Amino acid sequence: MIHLRLLRLAGTAAPLLSTVVLAGIALSAVAVAQAVATAELFAGIVSGTRLQNLLLPTIVFAAALLVRPAISMLRELTVHAVAGRIKEELRTRILNAEIDAGPIATSSSRSGERQSLVVDAVENLEPYFGRYLPQLVVTFVTGASLIVVLATIDPIVGLVVGGVALAVPFVPRLWDAALAGRGEQHWAAYSSLHADVVDSIRGMPTLKALGAVQRRRDELAQSGNNLLKVTLAQLKLSLVESGLTSFFLIAGPAIALIVGTLRVTSGDLDPATLFLVTMLSFEVFRPFRELAMHWHAGYAGVSAGNRILSLLNSTATKDSLRVSRSVAGSGVTGNSAIAGSTRAAYPSTGSTAAVSAEGFNFRYPGADRDALHDLTLTIPTATTVAIVGESGSGKSTFASALLGFALPSAGELTLCGTSTKELGNEGCSPLVSLVAQDPVLFTGTIRHNLLLVAPEASDSDLARALFDAGAEELLDPTRGGLDAPIGDNGGLLSGGQRQRLAIARALLRDSPILLLDEASSAIDARRENAILERLRETRRADGSARTTIVIAHRLAPIRTADIVFVFDNGCVAESGSYNDLLAQNGVLARLHAAQAPGVMA
Ligand SMILES: Nc1ncnc2c1ncn2[C@@H]1O[C@H](COP(=O)(O)OP(=O)(O)OP(=O)(O)O)[C@@H](O)[C@H]1O
């Protein structure tokens, strides 16, 4: 099973693979030398040859005993080097492919499945490349050479051994398609169960709150049973295959011995040569036996490799936002890419509009209609604007467009005068700092989370950012101040504190556009309003005012926004000041009426 397309997954480990192959061939050569020496010693002892005349085979036998462990050690060390390199490179490539694909492409797959691709599929490929493939080559080279040697010694024995040896790899191939299919089913069931478990652990508080733990448990048990069924079906098939292979491996040397003995009886073969023929035919089948131990790695590797290839092929590789090899090796993902950015890295944008969309169209892959359609709007620099609209009107998709993840199929979106098409992932991110509704925080202290985006920032910069974000209580020395631990994903903080800490972190990034996507939903309306007013007063490191875009469901805090854009069916239905729009009695007035008590708060 050499799948040529999988070979390109070996990357820079390919030259090392040839060392593993050469070590395997050397091991076989030493084993053959030992077998020949053994045959000569047997023949000599049986014919009564004096021991001093058997010096050469004795030396060869002893030398082989010493050399074999040394070559084995070299092979094992190289296999480990191959494994390490393949895992490091493949994980880097998969992570880069995920980054290139962006959140929109990855939103259609489950994070648990993607996780098992990075972890388990790569683990499965390691024995495929490190053990199975090299052994396949060794078996072919050694087996073919020894059959030729046997045929030279005795054509009949050579023919018989050659026939059985051919049956070992080819007869089980009749099951290939079925085994490959079962391998795919096994992987699908395994990654689905893995994804279910990850989802369940992540969603445990929700499951408990909803009283759905038992139902989820039942679903997991069902997924587990499905995996068991598929695994057993795969095992049954591979047991038939291993049984057949074992039969040929045992039968091969036995048949050679029987045929050889018959040839001796009929006088066609010298009895002394029978020892040699028997030992050599054992050596023909030895590499096959080793290969049989790695059959499973072969099948698991092919299905894992196919999955990885389809991910890598589905994403165009870009050079932007790459995860460096050392980062992937250390198990840290792309977040550290942010760490390189420093305060005041992005220049003032002058008088160009902060955001300008002109006839912008975007449709999600597989969707039957545009999520954003003919969207046209201008957000002047240094303003605070709000984006509101019914659920599904396209607000979050617009946020993705601002981040450069949703590129237009028609029209244009420019940020500070530059089209998002030109900016690409790398260009967009410095211009826009996003604070999402459920921000990701990292286990550690407040300082650690803030310094992630601005490693050069001083304590007073950090304190200023916390103050601007309305999170000054996090500076309280009795709680530990900047060095207070925040727990796993900010678990020691309240929902509002997590959001305000995330806003402070985004402010430290100092980009010209601050995008708050439902970022203060856990903060009470009065406080949210105060934070927005405070943000309006803050300045970037170079003294320029930033543009703040607030995506909001709750209308109360955005009444004072300079412009309110009301989205409806993927385009701007209304825009203007809150009170003017209210007077128009259109979409905003409808939303306002639905939330009236909150608005009046
Ligand atoms: N990943 C996706 N794949 C396909 N369609 C999507 C995807 N995400 C959103 N949509 C569709 O795109 C449209 C706009 O969705 P979007 O999430 O931008 O709306 P929204 O205004 O942010 O809604 P909400 O206020 O509920 O968050 C909707 O019709 C939605 O069903």
Q: What is the distance in A from the centroid of ligand 1 to the CA of 569?
A: 10
399 lines ligand 1 (CB under 6 A): no
Compute the mean pLDDT over every residue in the chain, rounded to the nearest whole number. 82
CA–CA separation, 436 and 9 (whole Å)? 36
Selected residue with higher pLDDT from 373 and 108:
373
Selected residue with higher pLDDT from 103 and 62:
62
Is the torsion defined by CA of 405, 410, 416, 421 positive or negative? positive
CB-based contact 576:582 (threshold 8 Å)? no
Given a cut of 80, whether residue 103 has pLDDT beyond it is no
Given a cut of 60, whether residue 331 has pLDDT beyond it is no
CB-based contact 375:398 (threshold 8 Å)? yes
Closest CA to 89 of 5, 10, 194: 10
Q: Which amino acid is at 240?
A: V
Given a cut of 70, whether residue 340 has pLDDT beyond it is no
**Mean pLDDT across the stretch 541-570?**
90
Q: What is the distance in A from the centroid of ligand 1 to the CA of 520?
A: 20
Q: How many residues does the chain have?
A: 601
pLDDT tens-digit series, residues 254-286: 999 999 999 999 988 888 788 888 889 988 998
CB-based contact 147:161 (threshold 8 Å)? yes
What pLDDT band is residue 348 in, cutting at 50, 70 and 90? very low
CB-based contact 162:170 (threshold 8 Å)? no
Q: Which amino acid is at 419?
A: S
pLDDT of residue 167: 85
Least confident among 196-200, 206-210, 211-215: 206-210
**Mean pLDDT across the stretch 449-459?**
87
CA–CA separation, 392 and 5 (whole Å)? 42
**Mean pLDDT across the stretch 352-374?**
92
CA–CA separation, 241 and 168 (whole Å)? 10
Percent of the chain whose predicted confidence (pLDDT) is above 90? 36
111: left (phi over 0), alpha (psi -120 to 50) or beta: alpha
106 lines ligand 1 (CB under 6 A): no
Least confident among 109-113, 496-500, 519-523: 109-113
Selected residue with higher pLDDT from 246 and 571:
571
Is the torsion defined by CA of 68, 71, 77, 78 positive or negative? negative
Q: Is 567 helix (H, G, I), strand (E, B) or coil?
A: strand
CB-based contact 572:376 (threshold 8 Å)? yes
Number of helices followed by number of strands (H, E) in the chain? 22, 10
Given a cut of 90, whether residue 67 has pLDDT beyond it is yes
Residues paired with residue 385 on neighbouring β-strands, in sequence order: 549, 563
pLDDT of residue 76: 92
Closest CA to 555 of 601, 515, 505, 500: 601
391 lines ligand 1 (CB under 6 A): yes
Q: What is the distance in A from the centroid of ligand 1 to the CA of 392?
A: 5
263 lines ligand 1 (CB under 6 A): no
Mutation to probe ligand 1, out of 397, 518, 521 (largest number of atoms < 8 A from CB): 397
CB-based contact 231:185 (threshold 8 Å)? no
DSSP 349-406: -TTS-SEEEEEEEE--TT-SS-SEEEEEEEE-TT-EEEEEESTTSSHHHHHHHHTTSS
568 lines ligand 1 (CB under 6 A): no
pLDDT of residue 592: 92
CA–CA separation, 137 and 410 (whole Å)? 52
Closest CA to 95 of 298, 299, 330: 330
Q: Is 321 helix (H, G, I), strand (E, B) or coil?
A: coil
Q: What is the position in ligand 1's atom list of the atom closest to the CA of 393? A: 21
pLDDT of residue 108: 58
Q: What is the position in ligand 1's atom list of the atom closest to the CA of 567? A: 21
| 511: exposed, middle or buried (Cβ count in 10 Å: 0-12, 13-18, 19+) | buried
Residues paired with residue 535 on neighbouring β-strands, in sequence order: none
Residues paired with residue 499 on neighbouring β-strands, in sequence order: none
Highest mean pLDDT among 24-28, 187-191, 233-237, 249-253: 24-28
4 lines ligand 1 (CB under 6 A): no
Q: Identify the helix (H) or strand (E) that includes residue 319.
A: none
Q: Is 337 helix (H, G, I), strand (E, B) or coil?
A: helix
Q: What is the distance in A from the centroid of ligand 1 to the CA of 371?
A: 7
575 lines ligand 1 (CB under 6 A): no
Q: 108: Cβ–Cβ under 8 A, 6 or more apart, which residues?
A: 365, 366
CB-based contact 396:422 (threshold 8 Å)? no
Residue that has been written with the tokens 């050690």 in this structure: 73
CB-based contact 422:502 (threshold 8 Å)? no
Q: 44: Cβ–Cβ under 8 A, 6 or more apart, which residues?
A: 53, 54, 57
Mutation to probe ligand 1, out of 111, 373, 396 (largest number of atoms < 8 A from CB): 396
Could you tell me the two tokens for 167?
């049956």
pLDDT tens-digit series, residues 35-44: 899 989 988 8
DSSP 482-521: GG-B--GGGTTS-HHHHHHHHHHHHHHHT-SEEEEESTTT
CA–CA separation, 8 and 309 (whole Å)? 9
Mutation to probe ligand 1, out of 363, 364, 368, 591 (largest number of atoms < 8 A from CB): 364
Q: What is the distance in A from the centroid of ligand 1 to the CA of 46?
A: 86
Residues paired with residue 57 on neighbouring β-strands, in sequence order: none
pLDDT of residue 429: 63
Residues paired with residue 551 on neighbouring β-strands, in sequence order: 387, 517
Given a cut of 80, whether residue 85 has pLDDT beyond it is yes
Domain boundaries, the chain: 4-315, 355-600
560 lines ligand 1 (CB under 6 A): no
pLDDT of residue 522: 67
CATH architecture for the domain at 4-315:
Up-down Bundle (1.20)
Q: What is the distance in A from the centroid of ligand 1 to the CA of 406?
A: 12
Q: What is the position in ligand 1's atom list of the atom closest to the CA of 400? A: 18
Q: What is the distance in A from the centroid of ligand 1 to the CA of 449?
A: 30
CB-based contact 519:435 (threshold 8 Å)? yes
CA–CA separation, 381 and 354 (whole Å)? 5
Residues paired with residue 360 on neighbouring β-strands, in sequence order: 375
Q: What is the distance in A from the centroid of ligand 1 to the CA of 570?
A: 9
Q: Which amino acid is at 597?
A: P
What pLDDT band is residue 334 in, cutting at 50, 70 and 90? very low
Q: Which CATH number fits domain 355-600: 3.40.50.300, 3.30.365.10, 3.40.50.620, 3.40.50.1370?
A: 3.40.50.300
CA–CA separation, 541 and 461 (whole Å)? 10
pLDDT tens-digit series, residues 114-124: 777 788 788 87
In the sheet where 418-419 sits, what is the strand order? 372-379, 355-362, 410-415, 418-419
